[in-house]
Amino acid sequence: MVDRLSGLLAFARTAEFGSFVAAGRALGISASAVGKSVARLEQELGVRLLQRSTRRIGLTEEGKLFNDRVRRILDDIDDAEAMLSRTRETPRGRLRVSTPIVTYHLLLPVLSEFMARYPEIELDIDFNDRIVDVIEEGIDVAIRSGELPDSRLVSRPIAPFRMLLCAAPSYLDRHGTPGVPADLIRHFGINFRYLNSGRLLDWPFITGSAQPLIRSMLTCNNMEALKGATIAGLGIACMPDFLVRDALREDRLRTVLDDHVDGRGQFRMLWPSNRHLSPKVRVFVDFLPERLAAAR
């Protein structure tokens, strides 16, 4: 394996410089040793890779194809070595994170532990429902749910959640508790509107069920406002379980139509698919899923 790697390096440097002498100088060996390594590689492959002349060494057609693949292999080896080297560095510096407003209920309980563990990292968190361009805006990590079509990004799942239909006991005392989705025609809804698209959040009824008719009492683009209006008894709303957990436990809210709702969701972390992942990003994307899973 070592001899084969030496042959690949000798070939790649010769292809790069067009000279055994220059390749040997770059590798710290003699021109003769470079030539012998390339010759052994050609013999093993059974194909001529270099076209030798008295003035310059060039690539054959087969050599050009082989060189493209060899360069990628050597680049991957360089990246692997760089990754191991960077893991020995102390994570430090400013870490920019973009995340939906509502996720502060998930993040704040665990971030103090992260900051205590990595005191040289400065967290800069933008709680905002706007969908940012991670690469253009220089964001280190973004947290999002839903479809993630950008192939320039790497994603990692964290924090599964459920969307629930909730109402205040006072509202249900006045209007009754719906037993099936069709009963919602006699109720008032509080709707969430997505900031970017302006689209209303669909309530997650079991696949195949049409969205039932419900009179809209209020529409807003902030989940905290949605929760407050629901606790105030204005209507029924759809919210994530982690947002309403305390209110449900304290009986300030109750769930409705549980048997008719399939509200499974998933937050994901996104970051640019760079070759080198910085230590500060690496420790964050490793810490968060593990810690959030333990907190559930």
Do 126 and 96 form a contact (C-beta atoms < 8 A)?
yes
The span from the CA of 34 to the CA of 21, in Å, is 8
CATH classification of 94-157+269-295, choosing from 3.40.190.10, 3.10.450.230, 3.30.470.10, 2.40.37.10?
3.40.190.10
Token pair for residue 86?
Answer: 């960077």
pLDDT at 148 exceeding the cut of 70 = no
Give Cα separations from 265 to 162, 184, 234 (angstroms).
6, 23, 25
Cβ 212 vs Cβ 184: under 8 Å? yes
pLDDT of residue 78: 76
Please report the sign of the dihedral spanned by the C-alpha atoms of residue 242, residue 247, residue 253, residue 255. Answer: positive
Is-contact 266 155, C-beta < 8 A?
no
**pLDDT tens-digit map of 43-97:** 888 899 888 876 778 888 998 898 888 888 887 787 777 666 665 678 888 899 9
d(CA 258, CA 274): 43
Contact 217, 186 (CB under 8 A): no
Average pLDDT over all residues of the chain: 86
pTM recorded for the entire structure: 0.63
Contacts of 145 (CB under 8 A, 6+ apart): 100, 265, 266, 267, 268
Q: How far is residue 97's CA from residue 284's CA, in Å, rounded to a whole number?
A: 10
pLDDT value at position 262? 87
The C-alpha atoms of residue 26 and residue 262 are separated, in whole angstroms, by: 62
Q: 12-58: per-residue pLDDT in tens?
A: 888 888 888 888 888 889 989 888 988 898 888 889 988 887 677 88
Does the structure show a pLDDT above 90 at 236?
A: yes
Using the predicted structure, report yes or no on whether residue 219 has a pLDDT greater than 90. Answer: yes
Q: Decide which of 3.40.50.1980, 1.10.3720.10, 1.10.10.10, 3.90.700.10 is the CATH code for 2-87.
A: 1.10.10.10
Question: Burial level of 71, CB count in 10 A (0-12/13-18/19+)?
Answer: middle
Q: 12: burial class by Cβ within 10 Å (0-12, 13-18, 19+)?
A: buried
Interatomic CA distance for residues 36 and 41, integer angstroms: 9
Q: Are 36 and 29 in contact (CB under 8 A)?
A: no
Quote the pLDDT of residue 74: 83
Asked whether this chain's domains 94-157+269-295 and 161-265 adopt the same fold, the reply is: yes
Mean pLDDT on 88-110? 87
Question: Between these two residues, 214 and 248, which has the higher pLDDT value?
Answer: 248
As given in the structure block, the two tokens for residue 107 are 């993040």
- Strands annotated E in 65-152: 93-99, 121-127, 141-145
Ranges of each domain in the chain: 2-87, 94-157+269-295, 161-265
Express as a percent the part of the chain with pLDDT over 90.
34
The mean pLDDT of 208-228, rounded to a whole number, is 85
**Residue 136 pLDDT > 90:** no
Share of the chain above pLDDT 70, in %: 91
| Domain 161-265: which CATH number of 3.40.190.10, 1.20.1180.10, 3.30.499.10, 3.40.50.170 | 3.40.190.10
What residue type is assigned to position 142 of the chain? A
Predicted local confidence at residue 2, as pLDDT: 52
